[in-house]
Structure 1
Amino acid sequence: MAQRFELHPTHPQPRLLRQAVQMLQAGGVLAVPTDSSYALVCHLDDKAAAERLRRIRGVDERHHLTLLCRDLSELAAYARVDNRQYRLLKAATPGPYTFILTATREVPRRLSHPSRKTIGLRVPDHPVPLALLAAHGAPLLATTLILPGQTEPLNDAEEIRARLQHELAAVLDAGACPAQPTTVVDLTPMDGGGEPEVVRRGRGPLASLGLA
């Protein structure tokens, strides 16, 4: 059964974060709060955990998974970013946005989009996932916690634990999230001089990106 860690929403307890990191390193999938909604996360280099994460979501390899990063310097190691793209990223991070970028060779081929060689990247604006990333010391593979057949993400830690008790290692409970997915913006058209394309309108306002 999935464990439930009650974390302070702004000052998460280091002891509990260390336990969560141990679960990630052992191949566990966790549910964590973010600035948009709860998300599923796992170790970037654990193939079995990534497959379990996709199975919980009910998505295949064509669905963009996201690398959850602490900051832009970490993000730049996994995606090719030019000056125009960097300025937009800097204006929007941390925040409730997911950006689709061309993956570098640092991203395992099995994690990038099979035909486009792209990856989703995100820097959350929430103390809990940022503290978890810091304790882990590397990006995590993530996806919004929307169950198969549903259109809205789960937002209650107890409900998440009840419904996914045999699929998750733990739920990090720091209270309710906004329960709205991120805004997803494809920045790959900028590689050829084009403009960003909004893939999904979510919690992140477009005006702050100059796309309203």
Structure 2
Amino acid sequence: MAELIRIYEENPSEKELKRIVKILKKGGLVIYPTDTVYGLGCDINNTKALEKIARIKGIKLEKANFSFVCQDLSNLSEYVAQLDSTTFKILKRNLPGPYTFILPGNNKLPSVFKKKKTVGIRVPNNKIVQLLVQHLGNPIISTSIRDEDDVIEYTTDPELIAEKWGKLVDVVIDGGFGDNVASTVFDLTETEPKLIRQGKGSADI
């Protein structure tokens, strides 16, 4: 059963974050808070963990559209092709924030994503997940955890999340109640930004 670990965004516990990073490095799955809905993730470099998440989501790993959660824009060049100044300004203006930006990938993507031409990048405005990525030293995969409820699409209470997902993951970070609106998704691979999904972030970027 997953461990429910309480971390406060105002003053995140370094000790607890480092403990969660150890679990991630060993291939563990973690549910964590973002600036939108709670996310399910793992170390981007752990193929077995990625396969576990794909199984949970009921999709083939090579077809999965997982987002990469980065600490900031400085490590984008590791996975993203050279960006023009207009695209970079859009990213700089809106991140960290409740957006997923689809960008052209490069040949440094982890082997399981080599065939992908694009990558979804997230830099959530949430100190807990930013520090988690910083301590890990590379991005974590992000996919939102949906609810089968017809009325509530996303569960916001970490304790209820732990009850529901506890047998499938190793850790649920309790960072307080989450939002129930997902990120706004923009495709930035063409000349003009293309709105793919309206979520928490403004459609005007």
Q: What TM-score, normalized by structure 2, do the two folds share?
A: 0.92
1:205 equivalenced with 2:196 (yes/no): no
Q: Structure 1: any 5+ residue segments left out of the alignment? A: none
C-alpha distance in 1 between matches for 2:34 and 2:75: 18
In structure 1, distance between residues paired with 2:147 and 2:88: 33
Structure 1 runs, 4 residues or longer, greater than 3 Å off: 147-151
Matched AA of 1:93: L
Unaligned runs of 5+ in 2: none
RMSD: 1.7
Check 1:104–1:134 CA distance in 2 against 1; reply closer, same or farther (3 A cut).
Answer: same
3-state DSSP class of the match of 1:188?
coil
Q: Distance in 2 between matches of 1:99 and 1:53?
A: 21
1:134-181, Cα deviation, whole Å (9 max, x unpaired)? 111211111112257878222211111111111101000010112211
**In 2, Cα distance between equivalents of 1:109 and 1:187:** 23
Change (3 A) 1:141 1:50: same
Cα offset, 1:72, TM superposition: 0.7
Tell me whether 1:52 sits opposite 2:67 in the alignment.
Answer: no
Cα 1:154–1:58 change in 2 (3 A) is: farther
Summarize deviations over 1:6-45 as a string: whole Å, max 9, x none. Answer: 1112211011101100110110110000001100110111
1:130-169 equivalence runs, <5 A:
130-146=130-146, 152-169=153-170
CA deviation map 1:55-79 (0-9, x unaligned): 2223333331111001111123211
Q: Distance in 1 between matches of 2:121 and 2:196?
A: 14
Aligned residue type for 1:19: R
Contact 1:157–1:176 (Cα < 8 Å) also in 2: yes
TM-score, structure 1 normalization = 0.89
2:5 pairs with 1:8: no
